[in-house]
Amino acid sequence: MRIRLLLIISVCLQLSGIARAQAQGKPAGPQFLSVAAPSTGADELLKVGAKAWSQITPKHIALNRTPPLYDTDEPAGLDIPSVDVRLARASGRLFVQLSWRDATQDATTLTEVPNTPPETRFRKVQTEADDRFFDAAAVMFPAKPGTAMTPSLQMGDAENPVEIYYWNATRGAMLMQAQGRGTTRRTGQSFTASGTYQSGQWNLILELPDLPTGTPLAFAVWNGGQKDRDGRKYFSVWQVLE
C-alpha cells in the first residue's frame, strides 16, 4: 500500500510539473535537464588528454543506485554518486567523455572465449565466478530519434526501443539494443572508444552518431568492485542534448 501511494504521489508531481511547463510555454518533460554539445574542429577527441576537452565545461550528473536484483546481493553503498559528462560534435559524430571516481580499477585480460553454444536456459543462474566483475559505462538514447515520447529508463519499451553504447573495461565496446527490461541484446557491432584509469578516476570517451538536438540521453556506470553486472548499476535520469 505504501509503495502504491508513493507511485501515485510521484505521478501527480510529474503531471504537475508538465502542466506548469506548458503554462509557461516551455517544453514538458526532461528538457529542464540538458547537456550541451558544442561543435569543434578537433580531430583528437578520442584522446583523453586532448586540449579540446579541457575547453568544454563538464556537466555534473547525479547517479542513482539500482535496488538489489538477487537475494544473494550484498548491500551496496553509493560509492559512485556522480559522473562528469562532456559532449562535443566533430566530423559528423557526437563524442561523449565520461569521468567518474572509482577507488578500484576492475579490469583484466581474458583468454579467448571458446566457441560454445548460445545460452538456452530459461532462467538465468548467477555466476559462480565472483571475481570477474568489471568496471563499465554506457550511454542510452532512443532508437527512433525525434520521437516526442521519452522511453522508459528501464531499457525502453516495445514502442520506444533504445540503443545502448556500452563499454566494458575488459571486453571493450559493444552496441546493444533493448525494448524493455530483460530484453537487452548484443547486436554484434562495435564502435570506437577509449578508456583510461589513473589516480582513482576513469576517463572514457565514446564515439556516437551525430544525434539531433533534443535527443534524450541517459548515462550508466557499473562498479566491478561492488559486483555490478546486468541491471545492477548506477544510472542517471534523462538529459536532453542541446
Question: How far are the Cα atoms of 28, 36, 58, 230, 232 from residue 225, in angstroms, in the given order?
Answer: 38, 31, 26, 14, 12
Please, are residues 61 and 236 in contact by the beta-carbon 8 Å criterion? yes
**Under DSSP, is residue 229 helix (H, G, I), strand (E, B) or coil?**
strand
Please, are residues 176 and 166 in contact by the beta-carbon 8 Å criterion? yes
Please, are residues 154 and 178 in contact by the beta-carbon 8 Å criterion? no
Predicted confidence at residue 54, as pLDDT, reads: 87
Question: How far are the Cα atoms of 163, 187, 239, 242 from residue 143, in angstroms, in the given order?
Answer: 5, 13, 16, 18
pTM flag (> 0.85)? no
CATH 3.40.190.10 for domain 33-106+132-241, yes or no, is no
Residue 64 cell numbers, joined: 542513482
- Model confidence pLDDT, tens digit, residues 204-225: 999 999 999 999 999 999 999 9
Q: Where are the beta strands (DSSP E) in 114-171?
A: 136-142, 162-168
Q: Look at the block and give the residue holding cell 510529474.
A: 14
Domain boundaries, the chain: 1-32, 33-106+132-241
Q: Which amino acid is at 88?
A: A
Closest by CA position to 206, among listed 141, 111, 133, 155: 141
- Model confidence pLDDT, tens digit, residues 163-198: 999 999 999 999 999 999 889 999 999 999 999 999
**Integer Cα distance of 195 and 105 in angstroms:** 12
Residue 204: how many other CB atoms lie within 10 Å: 25
Residue by residue, pLDDT tens for the chain (242 residues) are 433 333 333 334 333 443 333 333 333 333 336 788 877 765 678 888 888 888 899 999 999 999 887 777 777 889 999 999 999 998 889 999 999 999 999 988 766 655 666 656 656 555 555 567 999 999 999 998 776 568 889 999 888 999 999 999 999 999 999 999 889 999 999 999 999 999 999 999 999 999 999 999 999 999 999 989 888 999 999 999 98
CA count, 13 A, side-chain hemisphere, 121? 4
Please, are residues 232 and 144 in contact by the beta-carbon 8 Å criterion? no
Residue 46: how many other CB atoms lie within 10 Å: 15
Rounded to a whole number of angstroms, the distance between the first and last alpha carbons of the chain is: 40
Residue 222 cell numbers, joined: 557499473
